[in-house]
């Protein structure tokens, strides 16, 4: 015991805990104080105002949030936007059919009229960023009596009210497409307000075929060396005054405040690189216990369950091209998180993240003792005990979410209208009966939409439920599982079969049979699918409620813990965890050594595409035209000086999910690439950045331009862009 203590003390003393050179997702409004000198030293030629200017236009104004989870950049005076192929994927899939299979063949609008609208897709500009910490804290104090649970300080809905209060209702009423959002930073120690301009008319302009935009698919996903042309092109439309407006044929291309200039001159090793975008979530301030929880519960459950789900899905997809279109997006989303969970667990073990975080908490503990800050010591203890106490609940919640709520599509059917219809039938209320019968039918269409296939759902759910009942003890399963044992003898396949053959939403025929039936009340009451959905969803609510009881002290303790770290190290030395807000990361173009005696270069070329080509494997098919261009070295001005055609490169910038589509800029602020992935060795970077291992994977802008111009023949788009013009500073 004593020995251990001495050892740990020595450990703490010996390790100075500094952020490594290129680590960090920095807030633009603090850049000048925090990082600007270092960026200049690395090769940045711009002033801080060129990047972020609160009173005028700057590079930041060309960076947008694309949809809810990606980034994009404006690259022409006509509102043209670049993002990743995988960010435009849902839209491309939506417009695809067996006849017009844009996923397979690509899509290029050769005129404005051909650009395709995407209801639901938005592009968001950040107009202003304000520090509102004092204001929010005053409001919290004023409202503390109403906040009996003590949760307001992190509550999005509470903070929304505060934002409205701050801005004033009059202003709100007069603004079209403007939204105000206050977000907590450093776990609720700081608050910033974002003024956003949200454009809802965003049209698809172009996308390469998946054999370019998704080349290497899941095998290459999260891997370097990479050869994916992961980009797609959209255009923002506005009303004639340039304001956000819902889709209308009379809308016109947006004339943006700012767009990026593009460099076709390429990059060299050690060149300065910076990325601005909207990183989603990181866990830099985890304690050792949270790292273990993530590895042993969250990631372990995800890896196990998704593996089962994907196998079942892929079998069906490979059998039928129509199913492949239907399930491409769902499948890609699933495997993406699956593979990153494996990579994260690998990094946690390989680089001892548990110890790394332990050292930090011990350092704070010691500092707190020396400085009379007992509250930080208590915070560390409180985190530990919350994590301990929630272990079983968390496992059940993760199992329920991964294996049932996310994995089984019919667990998401809407059952509220079925309940209302039953009610109406019992009171014989004719109008209500009619209303809810209609509602039920539209619920069915929403559920069994064009991307739903009952055979796939049946197969996947049988596989998932088998694993669920194997791992979750019987007395901890939702109540509907009683019937699995009483009526179906524990046979999951028989239960699923019964759900599909008898339930109203089991098939179109079932629905019609129900509509014609005289015993609707009986059918509704006994409907297995509705009862299943109801049971698993209320189990989820129950688990959430129990978890919430532990969440409050946990959130409090985390806030304190981070406060302690900031106090000990100085706030300017830290960046807040990613939270889907605008950030900048900088570093260098740089190769790396993944393991002993292996070195990965920083740049890939089309030679590598041909090395990977495999016409018998859907992931590595190379389109004929691309091969033809390659064989004839038809690369135009985009070739490198050695005649090779660049495809992708890497930089030691610090990025995460949400940074997809982010512009990668050189020291002049010119666009040189689009971020789209991270390397396998860097996937653990959401918990701990490793300068020698972590790399952002970036599609070279020269490859993007080459595909647009030479592969797609969409020269009119190239002509819209500012290529190789010195940026106006
Ligand atoms: N790994 C990248 C990201 O996290 C790309 C994902 C898209 N590609 C795929 N094969 N699922 O989003
Ligand atoms: N592909 C990720 C995204 O969609 C970026 C890769 C990463 O997590 O770093 O945002």
- The predicted model gives 111-127 an average pLDDT of 98
In sequence order, the 6+-apart residues with CB closer than 8 A to the CB of 475 are none
Query: Can you tell me which atom of ligand 2 is nearest the CA of 84?
Result: 4
Per residue in 59-109, pLDDT (tens digit) is 999 999 999 999 999 999 999 999 999 999 999 999 999 999 999 999 999
CA–CA gap between residue 108 and residue 112 (Å, rounded): 11
Say how many Å lie between the CA of residue 647 and the centre of ligand 2.
Answer: 18
* Residue 455 near residue 461, CB atoms below 8 Å: no
Side by side, which strands form the sheet with 663-665? Answer: 26-27, 583-588, 272-277, 663-665, 671-678, 696-700, 646-651, 603-605
List, chain by chain if needed, residues with CB within 6 Å of any ligand 1 atom.
Answer: 86, 217-218, 221-222, 332, 335-336, 657, 660, 677
Q: 710, 709, 705, 651: which is closest to 682 by C-alpha?
A: 651
Residue 443 is predicted with a pLDDT of 96
Q: Which ligand is nearest to the CA of 222?
A: 1
Confidence at 265, pLDDT banded by 50, 70, 90:
very high
Per residue in 339-359, pLDDT (tens digit) is 999 999 999 999 999 999 999
Q: Tell me the catalytic residues.
A: 86, 230, 660
Chain position carrying tokens 């296939």? 453
Residue 173 is predicted with a pLDDT of 81
Say how many Å lie between the CA of residue 406 and the centre of ligand 1.
Answer: 18
Say how many Å lie between the CA of residue 87 and the centre of ligand 1.
Answer: 9
- Residue nearest atom 2 of ligand 2, based on CA coordinates: 657
Residue 716 is predicted with a pLDDT of 98
Backbone angles phi, psi at 487, to 5 degrees: -95, -25
Say how many Å lie between the CA of residue 635 and the centre of ligand 2.
Answer: 28
Alpha-carbon dihedral 114, 120, 123, 127, rounded to 10 degrees: 140
Q: What angle do CA 465, 471, 477 make, to 5 degrees?
A: 65
| Higher pLDDT among residues 590 and 725, named by residue | 590
Residue 22 is predicted with a pLDDT of 79
* Residue 363 near residue 17, CB atoms below 8 Å: yes
- The predicted model gives 681-692 an average pLDDT of 96
Q: 40, 66, 146: which is closest to 659 by C-alpha?
A: 66
Confidence at 726, pLDDT banded by 50, 70, 90:
low
Backbone angles phi, psi at 675, to 5 degrees: -65, 140
Query: Can you tell me which atom of ligand 1 is nearest the CA of 220?
Result: 10
- The predicted model gives 2-12 an average pLDDT of 44
Query: Can you tell me which atom of ligand 2 is nearest the CA of 659?
Result: 10
Residue 172 is predicted with a pLDDT of 80
- The predicted model gives 266-273 an average pLDDT of 98
Return the SS3 of 178.
Answer: strand
- Residue nearest atom 4 of ligand 2, based on CA coordinates: 660
In sequence order, the 6+-apart residues with CB closer than 8 A to the CB of 59 are 46, 50, 51, 52, 258, 260, 276, 665, 669
Residue 16 has pLDDT above 80, yes or no: no
Q: What is the DSSP letter of 234?
A: E
Burial readout 644-680 (b: 16 or more C-beta within 10 A, e: otherwise): bbbbbbbbbbbbbbbbbbbbbbbbbbbbbbbbbbbbb
Beta bridge partners of 83: 232
Per residue in 617-630, pLDDT (tens digit) is 999 999 999 999 99
Chain position carrying tokens 């900088």? 586
Per residue in 431-454, pLDDT (tens digit) is 999 999 999 999 999 999 999 999
* Residue 640 near residue 656, CB atoms below 8 Å: no
CB count within 10 Å of CB 35 equals 21
Residue 729 is predicted with a pLDDT of 47
Mutate to test the pocket of ligand 2, among 89, 651, 656 (most ligand atoms within 8 A of CB): 656
List, chain by chain if needed, residues with CB within 6 Å of any ligand 2 atom.
Answer: 655-660, 676-678
Residue 13 is predicted with a pLDDT of 39
* Residue 186 near residue 563, CB atoms below 8 Å: yes
CA–CA gap between residue 722 and residue 10 (Å, rounded): 57
CB count within 10 Å of CB 317 equals 22
- The predicted model gives 659-675 an average pLDDT of 98
Per residue in 634-647, pLDDT (tens digit) is 999 999 999 999 99
Beta bridge partners of 81: 74, 234
What spatial distance separates the first Cα and last Cα of the chain, rounded to whole Å?
Answer: 62
Query: Can you tell me which atom of ligand 2 is nearest the CA of 86?
Result: 4
Per residue in 538-589, pLDDT (tens digit) is 999 999 999 999 999 999 999 999 999 999 999 999 999 999 999 999 999 9
Q: Answer positive or negative: Cα dihedral of 686, 691, 692, 696.
A: positive
Say how many Å lie between the CA of residue 310 and the centre of ligand 1.
Answer: 15
- Residue nearest atom 7 of ligand 1, based on CA coordinates: 86
Per residue in 504-552, pLDDT (tens digit) is 999 999 999 999 999 999 999 999 999 999 999 999 999 999 999 999 9
- Peptide bond preceding 21: is omega within 30 degrees of 0, i.e. cis? no
Residue 240, CA distances (Å) to 112, 243, 256, 309, 523 in order: 16, 7, 13, 48, 54
* Residue 678 near residue 704, CB atoms below 8 Å: no
Domains and CATH numbers, the chain: 1-122+200-284+575-729 (2.40.10.120), 288-556 (no CATH)
In sequence order, the 6+-apart residues with CB closer than 8 A to the CB of 609 are 215, 227, 622, 626, 630, 647
Average pLDDT along the chain: 95
């Amino acid at each position: 015991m004593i020995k251990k203590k001495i050892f740990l003390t020595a450990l703490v003393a010996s390790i100075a805990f500094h952020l490594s050179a290129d680590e960090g997702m920095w807030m633009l409004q603090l850049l000048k104080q925090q990082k600007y000198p270092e960026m200049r030293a690395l090769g940045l030629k711009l002033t801080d105002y060129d990047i972020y200017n609160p009173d005028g236009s700057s590079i930041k104004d060309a960076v947008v949030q694309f949809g809810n989870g990606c980034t994009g950049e404006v690259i022409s005076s006509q509102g043209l936007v670049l993002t990743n192929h995988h960010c435009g994927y849902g839209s491309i899939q939506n417009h695809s059919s067996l006849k017009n299979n844009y996923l397979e063949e690509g899509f290029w609008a050769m005129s404005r009229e051909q650009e395709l609208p995407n209801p639901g897709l938005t592009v968001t500009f950040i107009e202003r960023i304000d520090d509102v910490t004092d204001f929010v804290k005053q409001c919290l104090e004023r409202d503390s009596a109403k906040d009996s649970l003590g949760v307001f300080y992190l509550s999005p809905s509470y903070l929304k009210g505060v934002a409205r209060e701050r801005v004033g209702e009059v202003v709100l009423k007069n603004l079209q497409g403007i939204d105000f959002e206050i977000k907590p930073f450093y776990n609720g120690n700081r608050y910033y307000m974002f003024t956003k301009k949200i454009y809802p008319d965003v049209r698809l302009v172009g996308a390469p075929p998946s054999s370019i935009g998704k080349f290497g698919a899941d095998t290459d996903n999260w891997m370097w060396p990479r050869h994916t042309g992961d980009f797609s092109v959209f255009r923002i439309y506005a009303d004639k005054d340039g304001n956000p407006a819902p889709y209308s044929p009379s809308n016109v291309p947006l004339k943006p405040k700012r767009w990026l200039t593009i460099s076709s001159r390429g990059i060299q090793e050690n060149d300065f690189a910076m990325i601005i975008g909207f990183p989603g979530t990181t866990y830099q301030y985890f304690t050792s216990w949270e790292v273990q929880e993530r590895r042993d519960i969250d990631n372990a459950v995800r890896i196990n369950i998704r593996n089962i789900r994907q196998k079942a899905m892929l079998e069906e997809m490979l059998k039928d091209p129509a199913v492949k279109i239907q399930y491409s997006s769902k499948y890609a989303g699933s495997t993406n998180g699956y593979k990153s969970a494996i990579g994260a667990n690998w990094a946690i073990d390989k680089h001892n993240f548990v110890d790394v975080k332990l050292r930090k908490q011990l350092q704070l503990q010691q500092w707190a003792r020396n400085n009379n800050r007992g509250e930080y010591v208590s915070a560390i203890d409180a985190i530990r005990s919350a994590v301990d106490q929630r272990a079983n609940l968390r496992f059940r919640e993760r199992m329920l979410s991964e294996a049932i709520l996310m994995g089984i599509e019919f667990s998401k059917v809407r059952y509220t209208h079925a309940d209302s219809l039953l009610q109406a039938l019992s009171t014989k209320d004719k109008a209500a009966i009619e209303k809810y019968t209609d509602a039920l039918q539209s619920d069915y269409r929403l559920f069994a939409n064009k991307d739903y296939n009952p055979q796939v759902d049946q197969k996947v759910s049988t596989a998932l439920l088998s694993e669920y009942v194997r791992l979750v003890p019987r007395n901890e399963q939702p109540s509907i599982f009683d019937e699995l044992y009483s009526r179906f003898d524990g046979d999951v396949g028989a239960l699923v079969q019964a759900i599909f053959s008898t339930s109203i939403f089991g098939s179109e025929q079932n629905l019609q049979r129900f509509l014609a039936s005289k015993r609707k009340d009986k059918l509704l009451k006994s409907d297995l699918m509705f009862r299943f959905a109801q049971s698993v969803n209320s189990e989820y609510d129950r688990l959430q409620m129990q978890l919430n009881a532990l969440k409050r002290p946990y959130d409090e303790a985390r806030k304190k813990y981070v406060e302690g770290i900031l106090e000990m190290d100085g706030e300017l030395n830290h960046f807040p965890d990613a939270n889907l807000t605008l950030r900048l990361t900088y570093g260098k173009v740089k190769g790396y050594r993944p393991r002993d005696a292996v070195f990965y270069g920083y740049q890939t070329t089309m030679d590598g595409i041909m090395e990977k080509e495999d016409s018998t494997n859907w992931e590595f098919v190379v389109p004929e035209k691309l091969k033809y261009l390659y064989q004839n070295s038809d690369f135009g001005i985009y070739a490198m000086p050695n005649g090779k055609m660049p495809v992708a490169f890497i930089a030691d910038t610090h990025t995460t999910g949400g940074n997809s589509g982010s512009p990668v800029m050189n020291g002049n602020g010119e666009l040189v690439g689009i971020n789209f992935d991270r390397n396998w060795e860097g996937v653990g970077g959401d918990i701990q950045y490793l300068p020698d291992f972590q790399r952002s994977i970036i599609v070279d802008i020269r490859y993007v331009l080459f595909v647009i111009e030479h592969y797609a023949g969409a020269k009119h788009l190239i002509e819209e862009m500012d290529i190789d013009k010195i940026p106006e500073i």
